[in-house]
Amino acid sequence: MCQVLQGLNFQQLEKGKVIEAIIKPVKEGRVEFVTEILKACPDLVWCAEKSTKRDIFMLAVLHRQDEVFRLLCKSPAKNPKFAVVDLDRNTILHIAAMFEPSARSNTVPGAAFLMQREVQWYKEVESIVPPSILNSSNANGKRPREFFTKSHKELVKEGEKWMKGTASSCTVVAALIVTIMFAAAITIPGGNKQDSGLPTFLKEKVFMVFIISDALSLLSTSTSLLLFLGILTSRYAEEDFLKS
């Protein structure tokens, strides 16, 4: 197939549905197929989807196919393609700001981590596009950052709900463990000596291991409890999902 493609012009590639044949693997992340086709016919990097006029760079970003996008960024056509817009005058940064429903089918657990992944995608594309694109407006007058906020509004709410539910459950468990560890610390195994009030097993090595383990457990669970409380009182802004 690759040998046949080398002798065809762009019109023949379009007529033979080769354009469609490369667009689908780009959307699905079939990086091996895309690699071999582009090696045989580098001009295919200029192809675009007819209905939306989105090129394969945009489609790879829209469907969050990182391996395909990394491959395409090695092409000399990278910089000219970043200046291209689709039918709605969306730049590639606007495309990165869109929330494609197919993004939910990935293996990221929970809405909060999905939102983190979306912010990472936007930041990555933002870091490589020309500065002139950062404040460009599409046909609806939306800049990329405004478009990101609008398209991810519901996901932010889902992420907040998921995060609060998880943090609440973990807070209950952490509080229970803190209570048990505190009780274990004040209830010393073997009791105390009547004359001095010191623990009976104070000089035993196992007793010291118990005390150190109990202290570490109490400290770590108290720390985690404070962290979960911090999550519950967070403002849940878009940027908070990136690291916080």
Quick one: pLDDT at residue 242?
A: 85
Final residue of a structural domain among 151, 176, 191: 151
State the pLDDT at residue 107. 65
On the question of pLDDT at 244 being above 80, the answer is no
Nearest to 101 by CA among 155, 51, 147, 30: 155
Tens of pLDDT along 77-134?
A: 888 888 899 999 999 999 999 998 776 666 677 888 899 999 999 999 999 998 889 9
Residues 98 and 193 grouped into a single domain? no
Residue 92 domain-assigned?
Answer: yes
94 and 185 inside one domain: no
Q: What is the pLDDT of residues 201-221, one digit of tens each?
A: 777 788 888 888 888 999 999
Name the burial class of residue 69, with classes exposed (0-12), middle (13-18) and buried (19+) by CB atoms within 10 angstroms of its CB: buried
- Regarding whether 140 and 49 lie in a shared domain, the answer is yes
pLDDT in tens, 173-188: 999 999 988 888 787 7
Residue 19 shares a structural domain with residue 131: yes
Mean pLDDT throughout 220-238? Answer: 89
pLDDT of amino acid 106:
63
Q: Which pLDDT belongs to residue 105? A: 63
Domain endpoint, select from 121, 151, 181: 151
Cβ burial, residue 221 (10 Å; 0-12/13-18/19+): buried
Structural domains in the chain (count): 2
Q: How far apart are CA 146 and CA 155, in angstroms?
A: 15
| Domain assignment of residue 156, yes or no | no
pLDDT given for residue 91 in this prediction: 95
Residue 131 tokens, joined: 């500065």
Do 192 and 168 share a domain, yes or no?
Answer: yes
What domain range is 137 assigned to? 2-151
Does 242 map to a domain?
Answer: no
As a whole number of angstroms, the distance between CA 121 and CA 104 comes to 14
**Whether residue 87 sits in one domain with residue 183:** no
The C-alpha atoms of residue 17 and residue 123 are separated, in whole angstroms, by: 34
243 vs 142, residue with greater confidence: 142
- The reply to whether 70 and 34 lie within a common domain is yes
Same domain membership, residue 175 and residue 100: no
> What does the pLDDT look like over 22-64, one tens digit per residue?
999 999 999 999 999 898 888 888 889 989 999 999 999 999 9
Q: What is the DSSP string of the chain?
A: -HHHHTT--HHHHHHTTHHHHHHHHHHHT-HHHHHHHHHH-GGGGG-B-TTT--BHHHHHHHTT-HHHHHHHTTSTTHHHHHT---TT---HHHHHHS--GGGGGSS--SHHHHHHHHHHHHHHHHHHS-GGGTT---TTS--HHHHHHHHTHHHHHHHHHHHHHHHHHHHHHHHHHHHHHHHHHHS-TT-B-TTT--BTTTT-HHHHHHHHHHHHHHHHHHHHHHHHHHHHT----TGGGT--
Rg (CA), the chain: 28
Burial class (CB in 10 A: 0-12, 13-18, 19+), 112: buried
Write down the pLDDT at residue 14: 83
Domain end call among 100, 131, 151: 151
pTM: 0.79
- Mark whether 129 and 44 lie in a shared domain: yes
Amino acid 216: pLDDT: 92
Answer yes or no: do 128 and 221 share one domain: no
Backbone dihedral angles phi then psi of residue 34, each to the nearest 5 degrees: -60, -40
